[in-house]
């Protein structure tokens, strides 16, 4: 019995010793920490970064402000439609610009006419001055002869008398009796819009003129449709569309390099469907030496006429080109029946005699003139305001 007790005691002692050996011993005074709570009492250990991660901000749920409604999508800003100024009397308001460019012509003529003795040499100088202003040979000779006759019969006693005489004769030469009205009235009998075909060579400001003319018509409360039949110049349709958008006018256009006649036809059809008052058709700037292109212009006109007659064919000429503009006018007049002239850049030249010369060449009046780069610098031609500009009366 005693032997059994001894064996049990030995087994217990050996078990306690074995357990002490297998279980790691803690260092004296060391207390095992509970698992760290993230973001609260984290302590970096061996191998960790020296700084603890930033504590996440804590906001009570009750304090969170939620938006009452979702934010509305922002609509793109639409440019406001412009309201052009009335065209009536516009040339009178722009006369100072005309006077600045043409005053050298008027002053030169007045100084010659105001001489005490008007001999043959003086009259030759007057004729040379008129020729320099691109008046043309026949009109210059005609004006000099009329001035000589009146000076001999009536006499020129003062500079004022010379000015009066010159003004009357220049006005007669420009011919205020010509019908310069634009035929832009809607056809009441069948509801067709008036159709205006705008032609001219490259560089004369043709597309810009169409855009400015649209502004003139919108200022008169006309409903306008634009036809971008210049399909060969890459920016022409975009340029015309921009002009139309500014005044709320629709532009009909086709693919780049497409058939101009087809675009013109569609523009007139759109004008009929929308019950517009006027359709303005821009065409490609054709060189007068390109026979094929000129023939194509004739085709555009013929295709438009399937809807009805073209009311106006306006030829745009650059006033600074002088006598070369007469060559252009002659060729275009042979292809389409030009009914009116638009002279652009008239404020940039002292050669105002081109007004008379081109009217004589085609037998049609100058109806519109461009006197600047502004959107409303296209004005109906006023003979009296034009002559006053030549004489330097701003």
pLDDT at residue 49 in the model:
42
In this prediction, residue 28 carries a pLDDT of: 36
pLDDT-based confidence at residue 274 (cuts at 50, 70, 90): very high
pLDDT higher at 347 or 268: 268
Question: What confidence score (pLDDT) does residue 336 get?
Answer: 86
Q: Give the residue from 382, 289, 310 showing the smallest Cα distance to 343.
A: 382
Closest among 321, 359, 315 to 335, alpha carbons compared: 315
pLDDT tops 50 at residue 280:
yes
Grade residue 103 by pLDDT with cuts at 50, 70 and 90. low
- Give the pLDDT confidence score for residue 48 in this predicted structure: 41
Question: Which pLDDT score, from 0 to 100, does residue 61 have?
Answer: 44
Longest CA pairwise span in the chain (Å):
177
pLDDT tens digits, one per residue of 9-37: 655 556 665 555 544 444 333 334 344 44
Mean pLDDT of 49-55: 45
Average confidence (pLDDT) over 285-293: 67
Q: Give yes or no for a contact between 342 and 369, defined as CB atoms under 8 angstroms apart.
A: yes
The mean pLDDT of the chain is 79
Enter the pTM of the model.
Answer: 0.76
Model pLDDT, residue 4: 62
- CA–CA distance, 280 with 184 (Å, rounded to integer): 10
> The dihedral of CA 136, 371, 199, 219: what is its sign?
negative
Q: Is 337 left (phi over 0), alpha (psi -120 to 50) or beta?
A: beta
Question: What is d(CA 21, CA 107) in angstroms, rounded to the nearest whole number?
Answer: 127
Question: Phi first, then psi: what are they for 213, rounded to 5°?
Answer: -65, -35
Q: Which two tokens stand for residue 125?
A: 């100088």
Instruction: Point out the least confidently predicted range of 146-150, 203-207, 280-284, 362-366.
Output: 203-207
Q: Measure the CA dihedral 170/174/175/176, to 10°.
A: -90
Q: Is residue 343 pLDDT above 70, yes or no?
A: yes
Q: Do 250 and 274 form a contact (C-beta atoms < 8 A)?
A: yes
Q: State yes or no: pLDDT of 176 exceeds 50.
A: yes
pLDDT at 181: 93
> In which band, very low, low, confident or very high, does the pLDDT at 136 lie, cut at 50, 70 and 90?
confident
> What is the torsion angle, in degrees rounded to the nearest 10, for the CA atoms of residue 292, residue 296, residue 299 and residue 303?
160
């Amino acid at each position: 019995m005693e032997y059994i007790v001894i064996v049990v005691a030995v087994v217990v002692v050996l078990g306690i010793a074995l357990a002490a050996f297998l279980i790691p011993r803690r260092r004296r005074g060391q207390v095992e920490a509970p698992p760290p709570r993230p973001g609260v009492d984290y302590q970096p250990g061996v191998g960790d970064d020296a700084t603890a991660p930033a504590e996440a901000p804590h906001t009570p749920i009750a304090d969170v402000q939620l938006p009452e409604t979702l934010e509305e999508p922002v609509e793109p800003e639409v440019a406001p439609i412009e309201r052009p100024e009335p065209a009536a009397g516009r040339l009178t308001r722009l006369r100072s610009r005309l006077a600045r460019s043409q005053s050298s012509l008027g002053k030169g003529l007045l100084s010659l006419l105001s001489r005490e003795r008007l001999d043959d040499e003086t009259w030759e100088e007057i004729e040379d001055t008129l020729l320099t202003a691109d008046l043309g040979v026949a009109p210059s000779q005609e004006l000099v002869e009329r001035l000589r006759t009146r000076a001999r019969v009536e006499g020129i006693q003062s500079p004022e008398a010379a000015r009066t005489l010159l003004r009357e004769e220049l006005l007669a030469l420009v011919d205020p009796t010509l019908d310069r009205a634009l035929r832009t009235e809607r056809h009441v009998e069948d509801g067709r819009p008036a159709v205006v075909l705008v032609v001219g060579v490259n560089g004369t400001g043709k597309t810009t003129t169409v855009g400015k003319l649209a502004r003139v018509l919108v200022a008169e409360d006309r409903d306008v449709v634009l036809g971008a039949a210049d399909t060969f110049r890459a920016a022409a349709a975009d340029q015309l569309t921009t002009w139309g958008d500014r005044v709320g006018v629709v532009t009909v256009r086709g693919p780049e390099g497409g058939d101009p006649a087809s675009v013109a036809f569609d523009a007139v059809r759109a004008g009929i469907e929308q019950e517009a008052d006027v359709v303005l058709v821009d065409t490609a700037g054709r060189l007068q030496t390109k026979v094929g292109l000129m023939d194509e212009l004739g085709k555009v006109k013929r295709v438009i006429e399937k809807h009805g007659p073209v009311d106006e064919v306006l030829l745009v000429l650059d006033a600074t080109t002088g006598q070369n503009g007469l060559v252009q006018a002659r060729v275009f007049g042979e292809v389409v029946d030009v009914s009116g002239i638009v002279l652009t850049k008239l404020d940039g030249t002292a050669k105002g005699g081109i007004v008379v010369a081109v009217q004589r060449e085609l037998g049609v009046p100058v109806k519109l003139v461009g006197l600047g780069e502004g959107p409303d610098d296209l004005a109906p031609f006023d003979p009296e305001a034009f002559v006053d500009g030549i004489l330097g009366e701003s």
